[in-house]
Amino acid sequence: MGTTRANKNREVRKENYRELLSNQGHLQVVIENVEKLEDLETELDSSDVQRLNAAIGARMKLIDKYVPSLKSVEYTNEDGEVISPIIGVQFVGVKAD
């Protein structure tokens, strides 16, 4: 069972989106906004904090749409087939003489 053309196209589109997001600097803007929130020497009123939080949230949703957080890892064999995860492990004790 190989990779379908649709899956290959989907991966190409994802990679293109990742590159676009990287070039637009969304992650850098998020980091800068978080640093503004963390900077104790700069006075921010509540509306400034709300605007920064909203900007961070919006950019993170955009980033997560095209570069999702890893929630699980999928292992494949040499043929590209998905290997089933280990569901449980049973330990058997051996009594030594």
Evaluate whether 26 touches 60 at the Cβ level (below 8 Å): no
Please report the pLDDT score of residue 34 as a whole number: 94
pLDDT of residue 57: 93
Asked whether the beta carbons of 11 and 91 are under 8 A apart, the reply is: no
Of the CA atoms within 13 Å of residue 44, those in its CB half-sphere come to: 18
Q: How many CB atoms are closer than 10 A to CB 8?
A: 11
Rounded to the nearest 5°, which phi and psi values hold at 82?
-70, 135
Q: What is the mean pLDDT of each run of 10 residues along the chain (97 residues)?
A: 78 84 85 93 94 94 75 72 68 70
